[in-house]
């Protein structure tokens, strides 16, 4: 499932000591508190969205899926960004999310308008 970008693979190969230290730091941060794996993945996704980091959003969508998040949960994180980031930014973030989510995307359920009764 994991499609690691070539740039990151090149970094790991070129700077293995730094890559190991970076991975150890990340692991220590993840284990420093009580938040469960899936929730940590979704939080990091939200942080990446707020920081406008497309590559990080791609990475954290993958990691969220691996941690057990559903596509609907991932899209919900993007929608939660709307009041803070604004509409144009949220459209960009949703595009980055959809770059990674499985292609068998289900359209969100839309609430139907109640039918007017005839009197």
How many structural domains compose the chain?
Answer: 1
Query: How many Cα atoms sit within 13 Å of 24 on the Cβ side?
Result: 6
> Residue 85: inside a domain, yes or no?
yes
Position 10 pLDDT exceeds 60: yes
23 lies in some domain: no
HEC secondary structure over 89-102: HHHHHHHHHHHHCC
Interval 68-94: pLDDT, tens: 999 999 999 999 999 999 999 999 999
What is the domain extent for residue 53? 35-100
Residue 81 lies in a domain: yes
Identify the pLDDT of residue 57: 97
Looking up residue 49, the CATH number of its domain turns out to be: 1.20.1290.10
Tell me how far apart the alpha carbons of residues 61 and 41 are, in angstroms, rounded to a whole number.
Answer: 8
pLDDT digits (tens, 9 = 90+) for 22-55: 999 999 999 999 999 999 999 999 999 999 999 9
């Amino acid at each position: 499932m994991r499609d690691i970008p070539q740039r990151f693979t090149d970094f790991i190969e070129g700077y293995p000591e730094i890559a190991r230290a970076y991975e150890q730091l990340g692991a220590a941060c993840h284990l420093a508190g009580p938040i469960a794996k899936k929730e940590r993945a979704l939080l990091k996704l939200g942080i990446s969205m707020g920081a406008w980091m497309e590559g990080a959003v791609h990475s954290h969508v993958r990691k969220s899926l691996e941690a057990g998040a559903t596509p609907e949960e991932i899209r919900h994180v993007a929608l939660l960004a709307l009041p803070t980031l604004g509409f144009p930014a949220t459209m960009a973030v949703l595009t980055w999310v959809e770059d990674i989510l499985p292609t068998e995307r289900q359209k969100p359920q839309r609430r139907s308008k109640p039918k007017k009764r005839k009197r």
